[in-house]
Amino acid sequence: MTISIPRGYRLAGVHAGIKQDPTVEDVAIILSDKPASVAGVYTQNRYCAAPVSWDRRLTPSNDIRAVVINSGNANACTGRRGEENTLEMARCVGHHCSVSTDQVLVMSTGIIGEFLPMDRITTGVAQAVSQLGSDFENLQSVARGMMTTDTKPKMSGRQVETEDSTFRLAGLAKGSGMIAPNMATMLAVVMTDALLEPDTAQRLLVEATERSFNCISVDGHTSTNDTVLLMANGQAASIPITDDKLSQFQQALDEICTDLARSIVGDGEGATHRVTVDVRRCRQREKALQIAKSVANSPLVKTAVTGADPNWGRIVSAAGYAGVVFDPDQLEVSINEIIIFRAGAPVEFDSVALSDSMRQNFDTEIVLDFNEGPAQVCFWTCDLTEGYIKINAEYHT
């Protein structure tokens, strides 16, 4: 796989020494040659980390030049000193890239409650700036520089061809569940060389996030640092995308965000399966989402998938306690396209064959069809294994 970097972006990730392993990147920079429109979507956690507060204050914007990312330390629950360190990171990047401090966004992920090793970070920033480039290798080094308990970097790209121009989009993300010793974070950046007004970028990003990053869960635990950014620097066109092209752009953005979101749950801590919970024909999208979350977050449903067990009882009862009114006799449930429950009762099916299919495939698809309305939601999660328990119980502070 290779991904084209959108025009006018240079990137680099380096090892600055926040993480112990000297072979892994932990400081990364994305620099746009021209001021970019940037939209942001952030964690709703009451405890939000210093970089989240910083970015939230600056976006949406039409004047962002760079994003600096560090992994290994989340700079969360670090009080005033944490805020000063975030400011210092932005100032340091501004200094080395000749942009102003307020043109630099910051993302951090890793351990919480500890102060950033600022000397290492400032050295790493200088080194990263000296290595900026626009090759796929540069993109990869940034993707690796975001990783914590992730086992692989997460990237996705699309190209949008319209009558009068071509835009490129490239996205990066990290996230896997919880980071020893504390918590995980979901970070993502999507770059494009399309020209977007900040408010348009914000609207497009919120829309895409609703259907992707807000539809995944590894363990239902929302981090203090979750951040998704969309950068649009207009280097492929001099006029903003017209309304009739926006849906094309939205689709490409949706696809990238969905790719990245699915990569995150596919790399969930200890996961041996990725699970799609596809809730169809509900009365309202909100109700469908509530049901999908209830099924996807049930430890019973997740462990059934771990054991390749087509356990309809766990699925329908998880739907049943979602707090949504529906007619239990109308629900039809299938796994991997085999119907297992209909009209309030189990259906005869070849459970051995279905169990084999669940065991052999990394992806398990659970469809709940309520036959009541037009709303549909896809939600993604992973199974719950002894590996997850090992990762999260066997660490000691």
Give catalytic residues, as residue numbers: 185
Any contact of residue 353 with its own copies (CB under 8 A)? no
395 touches its own copies (CB under 8 A) = yes
Q: How far apart are CA 387 and CA 374, in angstroms?
A: 38
Closest to its own copies by CB, 179 vs 377, is 179
346 binds its own copies (CB under 8 A): yes
Coil, strand or helix: which one is 134? Answer: coil
Q: What does the alpha-carbon distance between residue 18 and residue 143 come to, in Å, rounded to a whole number?
A: 16
Task: State which residue, 139 or 333, has the beta carbon closest to its own copies.
Answer: 333
Check residue 202 for interaction with its own copies (CB under 8 A).
no
DSSP string of 338-390, one letter each residue: EEEEETTEE----HHHHHHHHHH-SEEEEEEE--SSSEEEEEEEE---HHHHH
Q: Which residues, 6+ apart, have CB-to-CB distance to 104 below 8 Å? A: 64, 65, 66, 67, 68, 89, 90, 91, 93, 94, 97
Helix (H) or strand (E) holding 201: helix 198-210
Instruction: Give the count of residues interacting with its own copies (CB under 8 A).
Output: 66
Using CB under 8 A, which residues numbered 60 to 89 contact its own copies? 76-79
Answer for which of 282, 308, 335, 382 binds its own copies (CB under 8 A) is 308
Taking the complex as a whole, how short is the minimal distance between the CB of residue 364 and its own copies, in angstroms?
A: 13
Q: Can residue 345 be called a binding residue for its own copies (CB under 8 A)?
A: yes
Residue type, 274: R
The least CB distance from residue 284 to its own copies, in Å, is 16
Minimum gap (Å) between residue 150 Cβ and its own copies: 17
Contact residue for its own copies among 21, 164, 243, 393 (CB under 8 A) = 393
**Token pair of 229 as six digits:** 């950014």
Does position 312 bind its own copies by CB under 8 A?
yes
Asked if residue 181 lies in contact with residue 227, where contact means CB atoms within 8 angstroms, the answer is no
The mark string for 104-123 relative to its own copies (x by CB under 8 A, - otherwise) is --------xx----------
Nearest distance in Å: CB 39, its own copies: 22
Q: In which residue are the tokens 């070849």 written?
A: 350
Q: Which of 154, 73, 60 is nearest to 118 (CA)?
A: 73
Q: Does 222 participate in binding its own copies (rule CB under 8 A)?
A: yes
Query: Is 209 a residue that touches its own copies (CB under 8 A)?
Result: no
371 binds its own copies per the rule CB under 8 A: no
Tokens read off for 395: 């660490």
Binding residues for its own copies restricted to 28-67, rule: CB under 8 A = 43-47
Exposed/middle/buried for residue 329 (C-beta within 10 Å: 0-12, 13-18, 19+): exposed
For its own copies, the binding residue among 66, 178, 216, 232 (CB under 8 A) is 178
Least Å distance between CB 62 and its own copies? 31
Among residues 248 and 355, whose Cβ is nearest to its own copies? 355
Find the shortest distance in angstroms from Cβ 384 to its own copies.
7
Minimum distance from residue 238 beta carbon to its own copies (Å): 42
Site string for its own copies, 257-296 (x = CB under 8 A): ----------------------------------------
Contact status: 326 vs its own copies (CB under 8 A): yes
Residue 221: other Cβ atoms inside 10 A:
12
For 69, 88, 238, 275, 367, the CA distances from 13, given in Å and listed in that order, are: 9, 19, 30, 32, 40
Q: How far is the CB of 58 from its own copies (least distance, A)?
A: 21
The torsion of the CA quartet 104, 257, 24, 54, rounded to 10 degrees, works out to 30
- What are the structure tokens assigned to 301, written together? 């449903």
Q: How far apart are CA 16 and CA 22, in angstroms?
A: 8
CA-to-CA distance for 338 and 357, rounded, in angstroms? 10
3-class DSSP assignment, residue 254: helix
Please identify which residue in 25, 26, 219, 254 interacts with its own copies, judged by CB under 8 A. 219
For position 348 contacting its own copies by CB under 8 A, the verdict is no
Which residue has 């239902």 as its token pair?
220
The residues of the shown chain that bind its own copies, judged by CB under 8 A, are 43-47, 76-79, 112-113, 178, 181-183, 219-224, 297-300, 303-304, 306-314, 316-321, 323-326, 328, 341, 344-346, 351, 355, 383-386, 388-390, 392-397
